[in-house]
Amino acid sequence: MQTSYSSSRILLPVRPWFIGLSLTVALLLNFLPTAAWPGVPDWLALVIVFWSVHEPRRVGMGLAFLFGVAMDVADASLLGQHALAYVLVAYGASSLSRRILWFPLAQQALQVFPLLLLVQLVQFSVRSMAGADFPGLAYFVGPCLATLLWPVLTFVLLLPQHQPVDRDANRPL
């Protein structure tokens, strides 16, 4: 018997406005000054991975590219650094989505960790090719914290899709 968040209830389809709202909130969280602190996760990468895993037909590389360019412009970083990292992670998450969803939440987080680490590695590689210094090992703590937040994020983002529990004696489902 699996002990995970997955229940036997069928989820409602996700509304597109909710996907857009969650991505926008994650983008705004990345705009906060605390986003530059060591250990703070890349909220937008985490939400892009979540929606690429759960809704790969709605959130893909195109949307990841647009949000990546928005992050590049807002962060005043090398143009294309976030866009490249987000496109690669959206591709990886959508291609691994069926595999990731097979596992319980704790193991899903372990499957998502390499994807979140990929975002940091791509951004670090692009920065180092442009001549930036090594930011230190604390730069790679963010994906670890984001991995720990995966079950919480899953609960919060799937909450609007849960159907109310209606008991009908005539319909067993």
Domain presence at residue 130: yes
What is the widest separation between alpha-carbon atoms in the chain?
68
Residue 135 pLDDT = 79
Residue 143 lies in a domain: yes
The stretch 11-24 carries a mean pLDDT of 91
So what's the pLDDT on residue 36?
A: 75
Direct distance between the N- and C-terminal alpha carbons of the chain, in angstroms, rounded to an integer: 21
Instruction: Look up tokens 């590689």; give the residue.
Output: 125
Q: Does a structural domain hold residue 50? A: yes
* CA distance linking residue 6 with residue 131, whole number of Å: 46
pLDDT bin (cut points 50, 70, 90) of residue 2 is: very low
pTM for this model (two decimals)? 0.86
* Number of domains comprising the chain: 1
- Does residue 79 form part of some domain? yes
In a domain, 162, yes or no: no
What is the structure's pLDDT at 9? 65
How big is the CA angle at 22 (ends 90 and 36), to the nearest 5 degrees? 75
Question: Is residue 159 assigned to a domain?
Answer: no
Unique residue bearing structure tokens 């895993």: 53
Q: Which residue range forms the structural domain that includes residue 51?
A: 16-154
Whole-angstrom Cα distance, residue 4 to residue 113?
18
> Does residue 3 lie in a domain region?
no
Nearest to 10 by CA among 162, 166, 167: 162
- Which of 76-85, 93-102, 133-142, 164-173 is predicted least confidently? 164-173
Q: Is residue 168 part of a domain?
A: no
The whole-number pLDDT of residue 51 equals 96
